[in-house]
Amino acid sequence: MNSHELNDADWQLPTYETALYAEKQHRYALVIPVINEGDRIRGQLQRIADAALSVDVIVADGGSVDGSLDPEFITTLPVRAVLTKTGEGRLSAQLRMAYAWCLREGYEGIVTIDGNGKDGVEAVNDMVAQLEAGCDYVQGSRYLPGGMAENTPLERTIANRGIHAPLLSLAGRNWFTDTTNGFRAYSARYLLDPRVQPFRDVFQRYELLFYLTVRAGQIGMKVAQLPVQRRYPPNSAVPTKIDGISGKLAVLKQTFAAAMGRFAP
């Protein structure tokens, strides 16, 4: 797939800046959305470097001001690019920015992992293997045999397993166990399918994650789940961007919207 073949004239993307550090080396990209994660993202990037993964690393920065992504640090690691969003939107805007960039660079698929250090990076290569085997959407799950859910807050387990996963599984016509997990992978074929159209301004917060979960099965794409590890720090504040009751209700509202088909083009 070459970038000149993309029908991208109508893609709606936030404005952003690109810091390019290396040439393309792999067929798949690892996108890491992050904002002000400090030592968590630094440690995670070091673990990714140590794991020698078969992906090019793309950091999708929401506008960090904590110095964690300073070029002096980034140049010590195998990071291909840091994209810094300067326009509107939150997580979904960061992902639209990064996915569009990766597709224009000709990547055949994209793995996404959160930038707060909770996820085990070892499963990235397993996700790539699933994409190479023909899968279009691969969802990581801490609840599958071989996965790990360490110190997960009880309310998150209840909301995920009792509400979120059943809702999106029914809507997406495939059974998933961990749909709030941002550790997942998509084929370029899926993201570029005209029945999907992920590059729309309606996706600002968490909507894109939930929409892509349900849309894959609705249009007959091949899906899979993989066991992954997710560790929350013991006896400390939960690293999350979902704050308070209002934030949790907003996520619930976005979940129902995705399940009810509100985002279908």
Per-residue pLDDT of 207-219, as tens digits, reads 999 999 999 999 9
Long-range pairs of 38-42 with CB within 8 A, sequence gap ≥ 24: 38/66, 38/68, 39/68, 40/115, 40/116, 40/117, 40/239, 41/68, 41/69, 41/115, 41/116, 41/117, 42/68, 42/73
Question: Is the domain defined by 11-259 classed in CATH 3.90.550.10?
Answer: yes
Domain extent listing, the chain: 11-259
Q: Is 47 left (phi over 0), alpha (psi -120 to 50) or beta?
A: alpha
Cα distance between residue 178 and residue 30, in whole Å: 20
What is the enclosing helix (H) or strand (E) of 29? Answer: strand 28-34
| 97-142 tens-digit pLDDT | 999 999 999 999 999 999 988 888 999 999 999 999 999 999 999 9
Q: What does the pLDDT profile of the chain (265 residues) look like in tens digits? A: 444 468 899 999 999 999 999 999 999 999 999 999 999 999 999 999 999 899 999 999 999 999 999 999 999 999 999 999 999 999 999 999 999 999 999 999 999 999 988 888 999 999 999 999 999 999 999 999 998 777 666 666 666 665 777 878 877 888 898 888 999 999 999 999 999 999 999 999 999 999 999 999 999 999 999 999 887 777 655 545 556 677 778 888 898 798 888 999 9
